Each structure stands twice: as structure tokens, then as C-alpha cells.
Amino acid sequence: MTEGNFVDYVKVHLESGKGGKGSVHLHREKFITKGGPDGGDGGRGGHVIVRGNKNLWTLLSFKYTRTFRAGHGEHGSKNRSTGADGKDVYIEVPLGTVIKDAESQEVLLEITEDQEEVILAKGGLGGRGNWHFKTSTNQTPRYAQPGMEGEELDVIMELKVLADVGLVGFPNAGKSTLLSVLTSAKPKIADYEFTTLKPNLGIVEYRDFKSFVIADIPGIIEGAAEGRGLGHYFLRHIERNSTLLFLIPADSKDISKEYEILLDELRRYNPDLLEKSRLLVISKSDMLDDELMAEMKTELDKDFKDIPYMFISSVAQLGLVELKDKLWAMLND
């Protein structure tokens, strides 16, 4: 998937169908001149239904279609015939899609299961035909109910990436490079900040045909929880990862400080994120000699007593097998 094709935020307009009118009809046939009312009911209006699809990874289709209208119900007719229901409209979305009311920002629903279906806009009920209103004092009612109007609303769809592992780090920490060597994904890689502007997903192939999904999240900066930089645009994607991989380069001035800044941004955005399992990975470790690495391990042992850490190099292919083993163990703990 190219970066330009990854769409994770759209606003769409929905209109369900109007119910059909009930029929005002009096039964007439040869030799029966006063057969009484037999007007049928109108059909209900079509629903607008959202459905989860595990084969979708983006909201790209909504980039070109922003309005969805269901069909109107048909009117009732004689012989108590009910009109046909309006045609339902199905909107397929990737798993992890959150749908909000555009005006109130209230979360209406979240789609997390394949083929899960939820009615977003209900079609209007069809009106009842005149045969429903026959009474002992009104044998030939000449009125019926009109169909009810459908619903009309604007909704916002936000995609929260469903991945097992989320890469967390500052811009230019080497997240895209790591993703490219662990998976067959081809993220944009360059030597400047904010190369990654949208999440990239890749499937890591493990032993015995097993696999897990890893997501390269755009880099965090201080103040991201308040919306600075890419702010909330990417932080929501971390919510659905079961394991967070904190990636900090070996040439960082202060690894502990960088880690605390990253952790603080997650804490301010959503404290629940701190409940996820965490792994600290020191990237670009091919630039370290044995003596310098030993010194760094001594410092890390003091600062990270409860958080596992390891050294890797994406370019030199160092520690990648051990990283896969560790991630697999954490995901299946």
C-alpha cells in the first residue's frame, strides 16, 4: 500500500430511505360492489448499514464517494399488498473503524469483527393501509398513513490500525527501516524527520508459517498529545496495538530521557496505553563497539529494571532474529 492510498479519516453523509405510503383502496370486483377497505401497507425505507471487511486496510474508497442514499419504500396497493422495502445500502469498512456523529463527536460504534453489521441510519416505516382503520362505526375508511421519513446524518469515520506491534519513537529513529527489513512492506525512507506521514503496516513472517502484524506509526514529538506536529493524527493508531516497541537510536544524547518523553506523550493522550506490554529497542547499534555497548548496558540496567531492552541494527541485520523471538513471546504471553 502506498502512503497516498492510506486514508484513515473521512466525513460522509448518510440518508436512509423514506417509507412507502399506505394504500387507500376499496375492494371491488364483479358481484361485489362494496367489498370494504383492502389498501395495503407501504414498504419500509432502506437502511444504511455498515459492515466490517477484514480484507480492507484503508478508508480510501470514501475519498471519492462521500454520500450514501438508501432506496425509498414502495407504496401499498390493493388486496392488502404490501409495498416492497427500499434497497438497503451497505458500506464496507476496515476492521478498527470508529464512527462518530459529526456534530456532537459522540462515538456511535466501532467495527472490530469481520462481517459485523450495524444499522447506521434506519429506513422510515411504511404507512399502514386503510384496511387497518376499519371499525364498526367506520366501515369504509378513506385514509391511510403516509410513510415515515428516513434518517439523515453526517458521520466521521476514523480508522485505528489493527496491528499486534506498534513502533513508537521520535522522527528519524529508524522505524521505517526496521519495518522494511522485518517485513515485505516498502515504506518511504529518507534521512530527514517526518518521512512517514501515515501508518505503514507489514506482516512479519515467523517460524512454522506463523506471522504477526507490525505498524510503523509516524514519529512522536513533544506536545503530540496536545496536537503538536502530527498530534492526534497518529496517536489513535497506537490504541489498538497489543505490544508497543519503543525505538531509540544508539546515538541518542539521553536514551532514558527520550523514553520518558515518549511515555509521557502516551500517558497524556490515553493513560490506558501504559497498560500495554513494552519493549525498548536500541537501533543503529552497529555504530557501537563492544566497550561502548557494555557501558550503555550498565546504564540501561539501572534505568530500565522493569522494561526489557535489546540492541539491533536494521542495516547490519544484527539482533533481528532475537527481536522476532522476543516479540512473538510477548504477543503470546
Provide the residue ranges of all domains of the chain, joining segments of one domain with +.
3-159, 165-331
Beta bridge partners of 212: 204
The pTM for the full model equals 0.68
pLDDT tens for the 333 residues of the chain, in order: 444 456 778 999 999 999 999 999 998 887 777 778 999 999 999 999 999 998 887 888 888 899 999 999 999 999 999 999 999 999 999 888 999 999 999 999 999 899 999 999 999 999 999 999 999 889 889 999 999 999 999 999 988 776 789 888 887 778 888 888 888 655 444 443 444 445 677 778 888 878 888 887 765 655 444 444 444 556 677 777 789 999 999 988 899 999 998 888 888 878 888 888 999 999 989 888 889 999 999 999 998 888 999 999 988 889 999 999 999 999 987
**Domain covering 165-331 in this structure, CATH number:** 3.40.50.300
Indicate the residue type of 111: I
Q: How far apart are CA 277 and CA 275, in angstroms?
A: 7
The contacts of residue 139 (CB under 8 Å, 6+ apart) are 36
CATH tag for 3-159 (out of 2.70.210.12, 3.40.50.360, 1.10.10.10, 3.10.150.10)? 2.70.210.12
Indicate if the alpha-carbon torsion angle 230, 233, 236, 241 is positive or negative. negative
